Amino acid sequence: METTGCSYQFRIALLGDAAVGKTSLLRCYVAGARGSAEPEPEPTVGVEFYSRALQLPAGMRVKLQLWDTAGHERFRCITRSFYRNMVGVLLVFDVTNRESFEHIQAWHQEVVSSRGPDKVIFLLIGHKCDLSTRCVSTQEAEELAASLGMAFMETSVKNNCNVNLAFDTVTRAIEQALQQGDIKLEEDWAGVRLLQRAPKSSRSSSRKQASGPCQC
């Protein structure tokens, strides 16, 4: 989708351990690629960038700059340098990998520590919900998300389950926080950039709260 004509640019990152499916999620969202039709992507080295335009319900068009970050410890010094310029974060774990779930709080704390009082929109993602070998329950993940003050959603690239909804949910939450003044435009910060001024229009205050298990 062309990114011309967008009013804002939002920078959103995917964080989590290696091999939880961050790259597959991004590719599925940006290109509509189905996990079952493509080979497993190579591990990300450092940070890779994707982009997509999204038309919000109220009429605003935004450009999403999406960051795919490496989960291996040896790349953490690289990924940490990008934390200051994130406005949205998808914290991703693999529902079949207990350790990746247990590391979520550490990933969250790294971002919070680097951002200070500045607001970041988080969404907890339990990926690979199509697999029957899960070892993290939906209830447990929901409880962790609630304790960290964020919503939770389960996704599957194989079934294309909730992939678009996950990114759309974060984007709409950023847009709402921006309109309410919880997130502010700053000249020296690239988390949110004003690309062009949009004409004023009536806005709807309703927004679907998307959270919970995968609805495959």
Kindly list the structural domains of the chain, giving each domain's residue range(s) and its CATH number in brackets, ordered by start: 8-194 (3.40.50.300)
* Structure-token match 């992939």, residue found: 163
Residue 79 pLDDT: 62
Mean pLDDT of 66-75: 68
* For residue 7, pLDDT beyond 70: yes
What six digits make up the tokens of 34?
A: 């189905």
Distance CA 62, CA 154 (A): 24
- Give the pLDDT confidence score for residue 196 in this predicted structure: 78
Mean pLDDT, rounded, for 58-76: 76
Q: Which residue bears the tokens 């909804």? A: 165
User: How are beta strands 47-55 and 88-94 bridged, if at all?
Assistant: unpaired
Q: Is the pLDDT of residue 208 over 50?
A: no
Residue indicated by tokens 């040896």? 74
Question: Mean of the per-residue pLDDT values for the chain?
Answer: 83
CA 56 to the chain's CA centroid: 16
pLDDT band at 185 (very low <50, low <70, confident <90, very high): confident
Please, are residues 80 and 70 in contact by the beta-carbon 8 Å criterion? no
Closest CA to 56 of 14, 2, 7, 121: 7
Q: What is the pLDDT of residue 205?
A: 41
| Closest to 185 in 3D by CA, of 199, 169, 174 | 174
